[in-house]
Amino acid sequence: MDQAVAAVLEDYGVRAAAEEKLMQALPPEELARRADELLLPIGPATGSLLNLLIKQAQARSLLEVGTSYGYSTIWLAEAARQTGGQLVTLELRAPKSEHARSQLERAGLAGQVQLHVGDALKLLDALPGPFDFVLIDLWKDLYIEVFERVYPKLAAGAIVVADNMIQPEGVRHLARAYRQHVRAARDMTSVLLPVGSGIEVSRFQAH
């Protein structure tokens, strides 16, 4: 990984550490109110694993549902540059997407990424696919609806990763519902990995 990318990831790490302390100090109701201000990153363990999965699979058409402030976007875009691919990333909040864009430019990765702002479900309806790799990381009550829109657009052998399958505790019931749903889908094999906040890694193999 080159110096520009590493420097951006290091800055994200400093912000994440500061916000972790803040989250521990805030009462739950204020934390919920300020959730959109927080980075809430997938973390380096998950980021590096996704980066490796993309490179090993030689995935070229990548989709991220939930850009947030762009931490995971950097990991995915760096992998896309190595595979000669492109990343499409979706975010509801324009300020978050703009922050992600600025960090991608700092990292020298802006050319690998198309950023879209708006309702994820509507944006997904308009995307043609097919996708070789998908990361789902937005509000957990939307995971199943997102998967339903993504599923018909998966390339053979595509990998779908869903974050926050173990933590936070408050959304575990939604995580369980997602895992049951994706495991019941035709031609999907799936496994829960205790990496970061927990990820469900699923693979589509059309016959």
The sheet with strand 199-204 has its strands ordered as 113-117, 86-91, 61-65, 131-136, 154-162, 199-204, 188-193
Rounded distance, CA 168 to CA 198, Å? 9
Q: Supply the pLDDT for residue 207.
A: 62
- CATH homologous superfamily for the domain 3-204: Vaccinia Virus protein VP39 (3.40.50.150)
DSSP output for 64-81: EE--TTSHHHHHHHHHHH
* Omega before residue 130 within 30° of 0, cis: yes
Angle between helices 3-25 and 44-57 (to 10 degrees): 140
pTM: 0.95
Strands (E), the chain: 61-65, 86-91, 113-117, 131-136, 154-162, 188-193, 199-204
Q: Encode the chain (207 residues) as per-residue pLDDT tens digits.
A: 899 999 999 999 999 999 888 888 888 888 778 888 888 899 999 999 999 999 999 999 999 999 999 999 999 999 999 999 999 999 999 999 999 999 999 999 999 999 999 999 999 999 999 999 999 999 999 999 999 999 999 999 999 999 999 999 989 999 999 999 999 999 999 999 999 999 999 999 976
